[in-house]
Every structure is written in structure tokens, then in C-alpha cells.
Amino acid sequence: MPVGIVICNYNKREYVVNCIQSVLESDMEKYQIYVVDNASEDDSVSAIQERFAEHISPSGTQNPRIVLLQNEENLGGSGGFNLGIRTALSAGHPYIMCLDNDVLVDEAAVRTLYEYMDSHEEVGMLGSRVYHMEEPDYIQQFGLTIDFEHYIVETIGANAYEDGTLPELVECDTVATCSVMVRAKAVQKAGLMPEDNFIYWDDMEWGYRIRCAGYRVAAYGASKVLHTKGAGNRNNAVFVNYYNVRNRIHFFQKYIREEQLQDFARQMLDSVFDSLYECMYREEHCSAAAIRFAMDDAMYGVRGRADAYKLRNEDRAYHKLDDIFEEKKTFSIEENQCDELAQYIRAYVHEHYPGMKETEPQKSQVKLVLCDYIMNVKDFSMEKIYVDEYHNVFSECGEAQMIQNYSYSRALFIYMNQKLFEENMRRLRRG
């Protein structure tokens, strides 16, 4: 069995069953599936056992098609995947594929990754071309590049329409584990995923370490999968914000050069401030607390699963456009090249306010102006309503004061925190 396929699951019964089924329908013949359940609180385990009983052989049987592994507690994405990877390594698979539980693989997805890696010994990690499950004509990701100048990760091909112009193979810094194959020898050299991340940025670091170990990292368009939009929505904002901020800081403080620390501190504090200020602007107080906890934990080396009090999600869920659109009959949009945002607003109006009509600005009750970021708006006449690409809305006098104070507040925040942040980064790097 050359390929061991690891699927990590937590509380996604329907998704994981469909994921497993899509693998079983693939045209790859020699593989073994390791399903790791992270102490799910739904009936994922029983659903897997019932649906795939013929493929889950009794304990001790040689080469069952599916091996079901169960953690006693939720160890996060990294801890869950690592249990499966360790088991697959022990079983002797020369290649290990990781799949998120909310992925559906094309019938050739596994085989094409295997065949390419088997004929290119220098490749240590190879990802699929990932499409949005909800919009399968659009690419979700096709590999990732790490920007050590701005301390961010950029997704190759993000939301691009599949028109056949992307190359078949893209060299990159790392690949997300939603669908990726790794060489066992590369894992033995570079190590497993960093479990103290719990979730997010663990796959970033894993791929980067494999690349640093001397292997090529790439994404291969012949391998195609569908993936849901995942956890990055407002319903999970507190959870996502905490782990993304904490683990992003942790990653870069480990791998940047010493002379970058001052610039890193300034840019990270600038990013954290933007997030905090937006939370205050939108009255998302739990998200703001999670971001602040994340920054403090990153500075003082707190790792692993976050304490529950840091992830309280009690922010009210509402869309400010609802207040604006209520009892209105007409609207207009000044797009300013914000095509995706305009498309989103039109779809929102169509779904929630089917009676509203789009008209010319001079005839509309609601005049929307789209922009990159409302904190850069200089028009305080209150004659128009500004919406930015982060869905922030500027429509009231009180918000105008916050926007006017933005630059000063940012400068003060960075001034108050930069030296402390820098020194803590140095302390962490010394071990």
C-alpha cells in the first residue's frame, strides 16, 4: 500500500462520511485510509462504523481499507493529523496524504499526486488544486507563498475563475493540509506538524520546514478537490481570530532574521490594531478580547488549546445593512472596482429585500459607495454610505469621529506596545 490517507474529523458527521466515500470511489487502487476522530460530540464515529462496516476490518486484521482511530480529547487539527501520520508512518507507507473532513476528491486526485511524486524524488510535499464546493468554477487555493517582508501568507489562485490559464504545476512555500500528499522520508527529516498550534498555521509551518529540509513543495493541477469555505466566517470569528493571530506571530518570530524584529513588531502591532479597532467599530467585543488574548499569549509563549474564557462568543450577530435597508425601496452602488463586494451586496439585497430596486444614484434612497477600507474615507458629509471589502459600514456621525481618530489611535497603540513586543520576541527566540 504505497499511500496512507489521513482524514481528521471533529463534529462533521455528514462531511466526513462523504469525504471517505469520495476516496473509496477514486481510481487509485493501493491505499489505506486512516480516519482520526478528535473526540467528536456528534455521532460521527457510529456513522462511519455503520456506513463503512465492510471496509473496517476487526482489530489486528492485515491491511483493512479503513482504520478508525479515536482521540480521547480534541487535539486540534495538528494533533489529529499527527496521530494518523504517525500510524501511517509505522505502517510503512512511503507516501501520506492528508485530507480535511469537508473535502470531496476527484476520482483521479489521489492517483495523480502519487504518480507525480513517485516520478519526482525531489518533491517532498504536493498539493491539489482546490475548488470552492459552493462555487466549483472558482479556485479556493493552489498553493501558498509566505511573504517574509509583510509577514503574511498569500494564497495562489484565490477565488480565480477556472478558465484554464493557470499552470499545471506551481512551486510554492507550503500547501494547506485540506488536500496534500507528503513523502514519508521528508516527514522523517522535517518532523510532524507542530501540535502546540492546535489549529491554523500548523500546515504552513510543516510545509515550510519540509522546504527548508531541501525538498520541493508544489501544487499540481491534475489533482482536483472540492472544499467548503470552512471556518472563516462570522459565526466562528472568535475562534478563528485567536488562533490565527497567536500562531501567525509565533511562526514569524521563529523564522525571521534578527534584524527584522523591529519591523516585524511594528507591522504585527499595526495588523492587531486594525483588527481591534474594527471590532470596537462593529461592537464585536468578544472578538476583540480574543485578539488581545492571542497577542499576549504569543508574546509570552502560551501554546496549545486556548482556555475557554478566551474564546467566549457572545457578540450579537447582525448585519448593519439591515438597519440601512429597512423600509427602503431603492438603492444604488458606486462600485469603484470593488466587483466582488458589489456582487455580494446585490445578492444580499436580492435574498433579504426582494422588493428593493437598484437605480441611478440621484434617484436612490440608499446611496452606497464601495471602498477598500472605510478608515481611509475622507468624506464626512454623511450624504453617502460607505462599505468596505471587510463589510465595515460608515453611515453615522458617531462613526465619523472614530474614523477621524483612527490614525492617532493606531500610532498610540504601536508606541505603547512596540518595545514590549520586541523584547518578548527576543526572549522567545532565545528559548
| Helix ranges, 258-396 (H) | 261-282, 285-299, 320-325, 339-352
- Convert the pLDDT of each residue in 222-233 to its tens digit: 999 999 975 444
240 closest CA partner among 294, 282, 317, 171: 294
Confidence of residue 64 (pLDDT cuts 50, 70, 90): confident
- Convert the pLDDT of each residue in 326-363 to its tens digit: 899 999 999 999 998 999 999 999 999 999 999 999 99
Q: What is the pLDDT of residue 232?
A: 42
pTM, rounded to two decimals: 0.91
Helix (H, G, I), strand (E, B) or coil at 57: coil
Q: What is the pLDDT of residue 229?
A: 75
- Residue 59 scores a pLDDT above 60: no
Confidence of residue 57 (pLDDT cuts 50, 70, 90): low
- Residue 175 scores a pLDDT above 90: yes
Confidence of residue 167 (pLDDT cuts 50, 70, 90): very high
Mean pLDDT within 199-206:
96
41 residue type, one letter: E
Distances (CA, A) of 403 to 267, 272, 273, 322, 336: 20, 17, 13, 21, 20
Q: What is the pLDDT of residue 61?
A: 58
- Residue 399 scores a pLDDT above 70: yes
Q: Looking at 36-40, 185-189, 277-281, 318-322, which range is the least confident one?
A: 318-322
201 residue type, one letter: W
Mean pLDDT within 161-174:
94
Element (H, E) at 110: helix 109-118
Mean pLDDT within 85-104:
97
Which residues on neighbouring strands pair with residue 356, listed in sequence order? none
Q: What is the pLDDT of residue 233?
A: 42
- Convert the pLDDT of each residue in 125-158 to its tens digit: 999 999 999 999 999 999 999 999 999 999 999 9
Q: What is the pLDDT of residue 316?
A: 81
- Convert the pLDDT of each residue in 221-274 to its tens digit: 999 999 997 544 445 889 999 999 999 999 999 999 999 999 999 999 999 999
Q: What is the pLDDT of residue 40?
A: 95
Burial of 194: CB neighbours in 10 Å, binned 0-12, 13-18, 19+? buried
Mean pLDDT within 44-63:
81
Distance CA 146, CA 190 (A): 18
Task: Write down the mean pLDDT value for the chain.
Answer: 94
